[in-house]
Chain A
Amino acid sequence: MSINPWPFINGAYGASVLFLAGAGWLVFKRYRRARRRLAQAEA
């Protein structure tokens, strides 16, 4: 009997979406914080 591939497909796509969204969000947050701190330091 062949194994049902859908849990593995869902896992691979879930990991991809989580990684891309998570990493993108973390980088964006860091960028926003860096810009805000620079603006405060320049003021």
Chain B
Amino acid sequence: MNENVLAQGRTAAKGGWLHYFANPGRFLRIVQPALPWLAALSLMLTVTGIVWGYEFAPADWQQGNAVRIMYVHVPAAWVAMAGYAALAICSFFSIVWRHPLADIAAEEIAPIGAGFTALCLVSGSLWGKPMWGAYWVWDARLTSVLILFFLYLGHIALVRAFDNKAHGYRAGAILALVGAINLPIIVFSVQWWNTLHQGNTISLIGPSKIYITMLYPLLVSTLGFYLSFITMVCTAICAAINERKTSALLLAAAERAP
């Protein structure tokens, strides 16, 4: 718990809400009732986005029907990067404030984020073959995303490599924070290097180079993928908290037994 809470019996004036919500029991009470709603919404948006992209979105004048792969590849790539950013933020909270919920969240984000990164790499390869004539090239964007995948795998392995869980969490947090330098490299790789991978089509600060008939299904699919990721991570965190509570109860019962 935060030192201000321990010393003064109240939440810190700055970021008090953060420490308030970092309590695993409180997280469970707030998030668990919302899980069915989150799951229903993410399923609805993901199915809509996928069906829209596969069946109803127009073919591109240059890429033809192969552009449909974009509706699963781009959301997977964005979620993979956002997932790693979330992992790095949890690691920061873990190192600075030692929130147990941050450790649990980091441990649960990594395998799901690795799955989305693998999906991004596989769908990108399947787009590359008909467009570039090759499943894989050692292009800056592709290579930096492959490194992201290895960083996820490294975090999964490192957290579980220690007998003392706290040491694993600390080592994993350091790896996640150091690996966060890869995120701007992925984003700007298409500008810093002469890459085969196309440049950024969608911009938050300028006009996007995509027509709305393609932009809308992409946005719906992206929202669905993001919500699916959030739902999976929240469910996994709730499961992990429940598992810890069960272990604590069983341990207490074993210690009480004559």
Contact = CB atoms under 8 A, between A and B. Distances in A.
B132 to A, nearest CB: 11
Interface stretch (B2-10, B68-76, B87-95, B150-158): B68-76
Nearest to A32: B239
Contacts of A34: 238-240, 242-243, 246
Contacts of B65: 5-6, 9
B186 interface: no
B245 interface: yes
Interface string A19-43: 1100110011011011101100110
How many chain A residues sit at the interface, stated as a range, is 20 to 34
B50 interface: yes
A16 B72 contact: yes
Interface string B115-145: 1101100110011011000000000000000
Interface string B54-95: 100000000011101100110010000000000000000000
**Consensus secondary structure, chain A interface:** helix
B236 A30 contact: yes
B235 A12 contact: no
A37 to B, nearest CB: 5
Interface in B236-254: 236, 238-240, 242-243, 245-246, 249-250, 253
A31 B234 CA distance: 10
- Looking at A6, A16, A23, A33, the one whose CB has the most chain B CB atoms below 10 A away is A16
Contacts of A15: 119, 122-123, 126
B58 to A, nearest CB: 14
B250 A41 contact: yes
Given A28-B39, A31-B242, A42-B249, 5 more contacts: A5-B64, A9-B54, A20-B228, A28-B235, A38-B243
Interface of A: 2-6, 8-9, 11-13, 15-17, 19-20, 23-24, 27-28, 30-31, 33-35, 37-38, 41-42
Interface of B: 35, 39, 46, 50, 54, 64-66, 68-69, 72-73, 76, 112, 115-116, 118-119, 122-123, 126-127, 129-130, 228, 231-232, 235-236, 238-240, 242-243, 245-246, 249-250, 253
14 contacts: A8-B127, A12-B72, A16-B50, A16-B123, A19-B115, A24-B232, A27-B239, A34-B239, A34-B246, A35-B239, A37-B242, A37-B243, A38-B246, A41-B245
